Structure 1
Amino acid sequence: MLSYNKSIIPIIESSYEDLTNVEKMIADYFLNGVENDELSSKDVSKKLFVSEASLSRFAKKLGFSGYREFQFAYKQKLPSSKELDFLTKQVLNSYQKTLEKTYSLINNDQMIRVAMMLDEYERVYVYGIASSAVVAREFKLRFMRLGLDVDYLAEAHSIRMNVSRVNEKSLVIGISVSGRTWEVVEGLREAKKKGAKTIMMSAAKIYEYRSYYDELVLIGGLKNLAISDKISPQIPALIVVDILYAHYLHYNKATKEEKLKLTLEYINYEIEE
């Protein structure tokens, strides 16, 4: 089980740009990691050649009453087994493992290739059943904001009927954690027969179905993920969708950002500065 630390590091990082040059030097010192026996104001001021008053001003900039309170908070970044119970740690550990698996499995060249592919086809269809339907819907909502002509289908009958709309100008993406959701697999098979480009997003390599899709995008699955044993089964797929979205937004970025701005104006959404 991994340890999770409560830390004031994010507080320092979020305030960094508002600090003076001297305060930034102090911030860098703490961001690089300091042992408990090097935290006294006298030791820090001597080591950095700054006054103790500068340390106090630095602490107050971060929202503390003074350096002593900051010092106490900084010490709390050390692991504490009493802060979180077993169940909470278990869930967080599952998220951590999912991110680690995604990092290991993600193919950066493939993400760029698929992102460019999205603009090469007239229509994009996303298939997903049950929990994967959540991902399919999120895919549509996110990419539609950037002007992509995309639709999602989330039940067996609609996926089967959609074959009449699919042709060689279509890109069809199937999402299945197990890689065996037959409605999705069948949908990709039939789309492939119609000449469409097909992609499967899955946590498993099912070789018997490999001929049904042109690209296999692996997601960071965990044991019993499909039955929501610890975390929501759609989480690993959503992470990959976010990565793909980042690459798609970056590709022809000016055009995409203009479309996003137009979309947000239509729905009266104001981006926070």
Structure 2
Amino acid sequence: MNVAVEPKQGLLARIRWMSAYMNPALRRIAERVLRAPEDIKSISIKDLAMQCEVSESTVTRFVREIEVTSFQQFKILIAEELSQGTGVPPVVTDRHVYEDINENDDTASVLSKVAARYAMTIADTRAGLSSDELERAVSAIEQADMLAFFAMGASLICVENALLRFMRVGKPCQFFRDLGIRQISTSTLGPKSLAIGISNSGRTISTVDSLKEAKAQGAVTMCITSFPDSPLVRHADIRLFTPTVTGVIGPADYHESMVSKIAQLQIIDVLYSLYAVRNFGSAIAGLEKTSDVTSLTRY
């Protein structure tokens, strides 16, 4: 019997993602490592601390934060990853129709590549999500009298899933496809509302503007995105990050990643499940009530 092996997340990818949740001192170390990882192979802990304007104990804390046992082990792992060519995205030389699929791929290759990317995305999403930020998100959902969603393009898939999940357990939600009405709807939000902006790039103008306006109206704001430095993040009180789209397909600005939607769906399902478990009685009642309604639509 064949046993599936779960894809392993690279150390640099882990640092890139976890840096979004780090305090400023640790984030400076992460940014220095990512800026020139090849330097880390020969740098001393003292020199790295000086370059990042932190103490040596802070560097040690950073290493432990990324689940590495020692600074020396950290240097070894970085060197191994760079030697294997997994630390730096290769240059895009081919044209791709979907992720890393090009005209030379046959049926078996397409099946293998799509399955591998999905599996890796799911594993990376699970590994990188901050438990503390998830707790904040679920608490905000519990306290909100309205969940207002904002998204465009392929991220609408995530919104549709969220509407189905939360409305079925009795949580009021709103989403408007018309851009004009969507912008107007932000004026109806207030301190008891939770505005959720979803964008892989974090740069979709209407989504960013809607979250910004919702925050100005006093609503609690949350974002689901892949990029900690994106404009969307600046207007979010709660930030949940999906794996950054890198590798042979190039950066997010190159084209929209459909695999990233798997990570978005995963986050919504985690939030929904946590909320439903915490409010089990009302969630079950809501599921039963909506089941009665939806049963009328089926033969």
Please state whether the residue corresponding to 2:295 is helix, strand or coil: coil
Contact kept in structure 1, 2:175 and 2:182, CA below 8 Å: no
Question: What CA RMSD, in Å, does the superposition of the two structures yield over aligned residues?
Answer: 2.5
Report what 1:242 is aligned to: 269
Q: Give the TM-score normalised by structure 1.
A: 0.63
Larger of the two Rg values belongs to structure: 1
How far residue 96 of structure 1 moved from its aligned partner, in angstroms, is 1.6
Residue 214 of structure 1 corresponds to 237
- Alignment pair present for 1:160 and 2:183: yes
Q: Is residue 98–residue 221 contact of structure 1 (8 Å, CA) maintained in 2?
A: no
Distance change (3 Å), C-alpha of 1:217 and 1:176? same
Does 2:194 match 1:171? Answer: yes
Q: 1:208 to 1:180 in 2, by over 3 A?
A: closer
Deviations 1:82-128 (CA, angstroms, capped at 9, x unpaired): xx821211111111220122022111232232122112111110111
> 1:148 aligns to what SS in structure 2?
coil
Question: Is the partner of 2:175 in helix, strand or coil?
Answer: strand
Q: Which residue of 2 aligns with 1:26?
A: none
Report how many aligned residue pairs link the two structures: 190
CA contact (8 A) 2:187 2:217 kept: no
- Contact 1:133/1:154 (CA < 8 Å) preserved in 2? no
3-state SS of 2:227 partner: coil
What CA deviation, in whole Å up to 9, does each residue of 1:225-250 have, x standing for no partner?
A: 86356x44422100111111110110
Q: Is the 8 A contact 1:180 1:206 kept in 2?
A: no
Q: Secondary structure at the match of 1:192?
A: helix
- The answer on whether the counterparts of 2:169 and 2:284 sit within 8 Å (CA) in structure 1 is yes
**CA 1:207–1:267: 2 relative to 1, 3 Å:** closer
Q: Percent identity?
A: 23
Secondary structure at 1:153 match in 2: coil
Letter of the 1:170 counterpart: S
Taking the aligned partners of 2:231 and 2:203, their CA distance within structure 1 comes to 10
Q: Which amino acid aligns with 2:276?
A: L
Normalized against structure 2, the TM-score is what? 0.58
Residue 130 of structure 1 corresponds to: 153
Secondary structure at the counterpart of residue 138 of structure 2: helix
Aligned counterparts of 1:212 and 1:7: Cα–Cα separation in 2: 44
Partner SS, residue 85 of structure 1: helix
List alignment gaps of at least 5 residues for structure 2: 5-106
CA change 1:102–1:260 in 2 (3 A) is: same
Distance in 2, matches of 1:209 and 1:146, equals: 28
1:263–1:139 distance in 2 versus 1, CA, 3 Å: same
**How much does 1:202 deviate?**
0.2
CA contact (8 A) 2:149 2:197 kept: yes
**Deviation digits for residues 189-218 of structure 1, max 9, x if unmatched?**
111111000001001112655441101111
SS of equivalent to 2:222: strand
